[in-house]
Amino acid sequence: MNDLPDPRSVCAFLEKFQQEATEALERLELETGFRRDPWNHPDGSRGETRVLEGGETFEKAGVNFSDVSGTALPGAATERHPELAGQPFAAMGVSIVAHPRNPYVPTAHCNVRFFSARTADGVDRWWFGGGFDLTPYYGFEEDARHWHAMARAACASFGDEVYPSFKQWCDRYFYLPHRDETRGIGGLFFDDLNEWGFEKTFGFMRAVAEHFLKGYLPIVERRRETPWGERERAFQKYRRGRYAEFNLLYDRGTLFGLQNSRRAESILMSLPPDCGWIYDYRPEPGSPESELTERFLGARDWV
């Protein structure tokens, strides 16, 4: 059976997924839509940045597609592939970040991507990567269990070991060592995935994309009408600071984009629109704010 990589099929799916995610998030807004910013580069790279700002549901959201190539793979992508450092490559993907206005609605992130490269001695390599994770400001058991049930469902037909493995990888990846805490409640993370062959691995990437929307949209609809005030807003801004710290210090996707692209605005669309830092902040014991770190952050089995 021919199981050679088919980048055209991957690209077509990614552009379709970008459109589906855009429409799904826009349906949760009354008036605000996404600004669409298509771009092309002389080297053949292309993409479309889509950003929503100032919505009633989403204070800021981005749904970006990119299809890029280069003559030298950046360092952020070669940590696990040192033999490919400085070699020609191609990369395509969709990245989604949603920062809701209501502090009771969590921030969500999804990325699905496909890489190909060639070693110095002419050997072609390819792999898939991606996943999704959830960053609540106020924790709800119902939401966390639903989110991880969708993560497990995305993995179900690919082997019993897949969800536990990629769930644990997510917990390790979205971790701030200088804070000794996870960014949120996790989800799925995978990279360098090719041992299943192209068709099966491509199918897994599609399942991850599909279950991201199934996981996130019901939570938004369930929480977006919850009343909130200045206390909740202040805590949301404080926790958003943690999100910004991770993206700027540790996120490989952000680092890869900044090393490989002149489109800093597109890469940094993932940052929250308004955040804050409070020196040595400690939430009141027993408060909803302290419950976030005591019960929700950290590696935990949700399903």
SS (H, E, C) 194-230: CCCCHHHHHHHHHHHHHHHHHHHHHHHHHHCCCCCCH
| Greater model confidence, 260 or 39 | 39
Q: Which of the four pLDDT bands, split at 50, 70 and 90, describes residue 128?
A: very high
Q: Which of the four pLDDT bands, split at 50, 70 and 90, describes residue 74?
A: low
Rounded Cα distance, 27 and 66, in Å: 24
| Greater model confidence, 44 or 156 | 156
Q: Which of the four pLDDT bands, split at 50, 70 and 90, describes residue 175?
A: very high
CA 110 to chain centre: 3
Whether 79 shows a pLDDT value over 70: the answer reads no
**Alpha helices in the chain, H assignment, sequence order:** 7-26, 141-155, 162-173, 198-223, 230-249, 252-260, 264-267, 288-291
> Look-up: residue for tokens 């970040």?
97
Q: Which of the four pLDDT bands, split at 50, 70 and 90, describes residue 1?
A: very low
Query: What mean pLDDT do residues 28-51 have?
Result: 91
Q: What's residue 206's pLDDT?
A: 98
Query: How do beta strands 46-53 and 58-70 pair?
Result: antiparallel
Q: What's residue 83's pLDDT?
A: 73
Catalytic residue among 41, 81, 99, 109: 109
Q: What's residue 31's pLDDT?
A: 86
CA atoms within 13 A on the CB side of 179: 21
Residues 274, 33, 38, 61, Cα dihedral to 10°: 30
Mean pLDDT of the chain: 92
Q: What is the pTM of this model?
A: 0.93
Domain ranges of the chain: 7-296
> Look-up: residue for tokens 């991201």?
212
Q: Which of the four pLDDT bands, split at 50, 70 and 90, describes residue 76?
A: low
Domain at 7-296: CATH code: 3.40.1500.10
Poorest-pLDDT segment among 88-92, 209-213, 251-255: 251-255
Over residues 158-168, the pLDDT tens digits come to 999 999 999 99
Whether 38 shows a pLDDT value over 50: the answer reads yes
Distances (CA, A) of 173 to 163, 201, 220, 237, 298: 15, 21, 24, 23, 12
- Is 99 an active-site residue? no
Beta bridge pairs of residue 90 = 69, 116
